[in-house]
Amino acid sequence: MKYLILLGLIFAVILWFKFSRPNRSNQETSESPSQPEHMVRCAHCAVHLPEHEAITSRQAAYCSVEHRDLAEG
C-alpha cells in the first residue's frame, strides 16, 4: 500500500512540474510574425524575388548577374 501512495505522489509531482512551467512552444508561436517582404520582378525573365536578393541596375531589378548583363548588353 505504501508503494502505491509513493507512486501516486511521484506521479502528482511530475504532473505539477509539467503544467506549472510555461510551455516554450507557445511562447515561440506567440511572437509577432515577421513583416512581409517587398517583392520585385526581374526585368529580363519576369520572375518575382525578394528585393534584398535582387540585383539592381539603372532602376531595374534582375534575378541574376547574367540577366542584368543580357539586358544591358
The answer to whether the beta carbons of residues 39 and 59 sit under 8 Å apart is: no
pLDDT tens digits for range 36-54: 899 999 999 999 999 999 9
pTM of the model: 0.51
Q: For residue 53, give the C-alpha cell.
A: 536578393
Q: Where are the alpha helices (DSSP H) in 24-72?
A: 24-30, 65-72
Q: Return the higher-pLDDT residue of 33 and 4.
A: 4
pLDDT higher than threshold 80 for residue 27: no
pLDDT higher than threshold 60 for residue 30: no
